[in-house]
């Protein structure tokens, strides 16, 4: 671990204690890894699961063993939460239901998780004068303005109609029966509440809007380390199809566009926020890679090519199939058409830029998926079916 580290203004960084809620998830596991390897900070890691951070917790001889403690608790109903927030200098809240397959099928759980369960965290930070970094989402932007223009309108090519800006873009969601937007709407309301706590009660806050962060340990592979009928986010869905040599399913033709950023690049941005409070407080930050834009169809094609390279297996004859959103996600699904983050605020405040190309990040991620899951999938698929 480096000593004598300085912040962006040349001041020595003092070790702090961080209460990280949702530390056992995808982003939390990478953030814990980074904080243990490269900083002197302490982490009170709160989650209901710890499988993704087990390698940081055991054995107790690890060099950072006295800097990370796991607290297994559900923030919905555990009175220990306030005590942990009071013990820390900073709280980072990552806890959420955040897989689209849940938004329209479990809208109540989605709204409770993303709004109601986050309320006490905001309240305890505000009442105890503690700093909060809250994880929101790029989905708060919803659809682009351009999505409502005629298909052949030249204005669709104008960035003013699609680039998403923290301080000026509107939040455009579908109608109430499109329950997909339950998540985005809950996230938007908690953002507004945090902002209001800052304005009226002086809460020191930073809001992060991740734009499709991807990498190792994201979600689960159905039937291996998660339920066989479960539907994770697209990286894990496509990885699962590639591992099982099944066609990748393109929802509604795979025409939606996304920008993907490598988790390790994005974690650098979060570390800058943690260690530069004077530059990060009071801001909402887009964190994404505007240079890595693809349609979902292009993502499927690239993942197929990269997976062939890293596994040494040829791709199957029909690598993709089309499926309707109703069939794949059920009633009430809707989609964001395009997501390009404006980078002005994060550049200005923190000087952060992503580095990794989509090809490179897929190569390292699919190498991980192949090494971690290929054998387990072979075993699972060769088991005789019980008669």
Ligand X SMILES: O=c1ccn([C@@H]2O[C@H](COP(=O)(O)OP(=O)(O)O[C@H]3OC[C@@H](O)[C@H](O)[C@H]3O)[C@@H](O)[C@H]2O)c(=O)[nH]1
User: Under rule CB under 6 A, how many of the chain's residues touch ligand NAD?
Assistant: 24
Closer Cβ to ligand X, 39 or 114, answer by number = 114
Least CB distance to ligand X at residue 336 (A): 6
DSSP 170: -
CA nearest to 186, candidates 135, 221, 223, 150: 135
Q: Which residue in 76, 192, 309, 326 binds ligand NAD (CB under 6 A)?
A: 76
Three-state SS annotation for 51-96 = HHHHHHHCCCCCCCHHHEEEEECCCCCCCHHHHHHHHCCEEEECCC
Q: Which does 75 bind (CB under 5 to 8 A by kind): ligand X, ligand NAD, none?
A: ligand NAD
Peptide bond into 59 cis (omega under 30): yes
Q: Is the dihedral of CA 55, 59, 63, 66 positive or negative?
A: positive
The reply to whether 25 sits near ligand NAD by the rule CB under 6 A is yes
Q: Are residues 197 and 122 in contact, defined by beta-carbon separation less than 8 angstroms? A: yes
Residue 27 interacts with, from ligand X, ligand NAD, none (CB under 5-8 Å by kind)? ligand NAD
Stretches 62-70, 130-138, 238-246, 371-379: which one binds ligand NAD (CB under 6 A)?
Answer: 130-138
For 7, phi then psi, to 5°, come to -85, -175
Residue 26's binding partner out of ligand NAD, ligand X, none, with CB under 5 to 8 Å set by partner kind: ligand NAD
Residue 185 to residues 181, 220, 239, Cα–Cα distance (Å): 6, 25, 29
Under the binding rule (CB under 6 A), the answer on residue 292 touching ligand X is no
Report if residue 203 touches ligand X, rule: CB under 6 A.
Answer: no
Q: From the list ligand X, ligand NAD, none, which binds 354 (C-beta under 5 to 8 Å, kind-based)?
A: none
Alpha helices by DSSP H, 141-203: 182-201
Residue 256 interacts with which of ligand X, ligand NAD, none, CB < 5 to 8 Å by class? ligand X
- Catalytic residue among 124, 141, 183, 373, which? 183
Q: Annotated catalytic, 183?
A: yes
Which residues in 131-170 contact ligand NAD (CB under 6 A)? 135, 137-138
Check binding of 290 to ligand NAD (CB under 6 A).
no
Q: Does 233 bind ligand X (CB under 6 A)?
A: yes
Polymer length of the chain: 387
Q: How many whole angstroms separate alpha carbon 10 and alpha carbon 213?
A: 29
Q: State the catalytic residues.
A: 183
* Site for ligand X, rule CB under 6 A: 98, 100, 137-139, 212, 233-234, 237, 249-251, 254, 256, 258, 296, 335-336
């Amino acid at each position: 671990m480096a000593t004598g580290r300085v912040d962006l203004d040349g001041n020595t960084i003092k070790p702090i204690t961080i209460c990280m809620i949702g530390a056992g998830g995808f982003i939390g596991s990478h953030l814990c890894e980074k904080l243990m390897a490269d900083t002197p900070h302490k982490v009170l890691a709160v989650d209901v699961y710890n499988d993704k951070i087990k390698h940081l917790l055991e054995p107790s001889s690890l060099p950072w063993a006295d800097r990370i403690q796991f607290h297994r608790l559900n923030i919905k109903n555990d009175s220990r939460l306030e005590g942990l927030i009071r013990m820390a200098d900073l709280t980072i809240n990552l806890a959420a239901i955040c897989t689209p397959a849940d938004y329209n099928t479990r809208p109540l759980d989605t709204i409770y998780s993303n709004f109601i369960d986050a309320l006490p965290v905001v309240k305890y930070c505000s009442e105890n004068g503690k700093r909060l970094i809250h994880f929101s989402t790029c989905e708060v932007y919803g659809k682009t303005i351009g999505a409502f223009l005629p298909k052949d309108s030249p204005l669709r090519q104008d960035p003013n109609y699609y680039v998403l800006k923290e301080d000026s873009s509107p939040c455009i969601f579908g109608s109430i029966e499109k329950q997909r937007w339950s998540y985005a709407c809950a996230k938007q309301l908690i953002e507004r509440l945090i902002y209001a706590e800052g304005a009226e009660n002086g809460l020191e806050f930073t809001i992060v809007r991740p734009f499709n962060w991807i990498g190792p340990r994201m979600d689960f592979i159905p039937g291996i380390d998660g339920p066989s009928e479960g539907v994770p986010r697209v990286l894990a869905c496509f990885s699962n199809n590639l591992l099982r040599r099944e066609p990748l399913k393109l929802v509604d033709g795979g025409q939606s566009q996304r920008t993907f950023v490598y988790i390790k690049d994005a974690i650098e941005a979060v570390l800058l926020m943690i260690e530069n409070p004077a530059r990060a407080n009071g801001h909402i930050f887009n964190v994404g890679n505007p240079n890595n834009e693809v349609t979902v169809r292009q993502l499927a094609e690239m993942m197929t090519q990269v997976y062939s390279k890293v596994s040494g297996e040829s791709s199957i004859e029909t690598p993709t199939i089309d499926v309707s959103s109703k069939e794949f996600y059920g009633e009430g699904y809707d989609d964001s058409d395009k997501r390009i983050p404006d980078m002005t605020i994060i550049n200005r405040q923190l000087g952060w830029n992503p580095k990794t190309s989509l090809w490179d990040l897929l190569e390292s991620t699919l190498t991980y998926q192949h090494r971690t899951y290929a054998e387990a999938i072979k075993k699972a698929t060769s088991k005789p079916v019980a008669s």
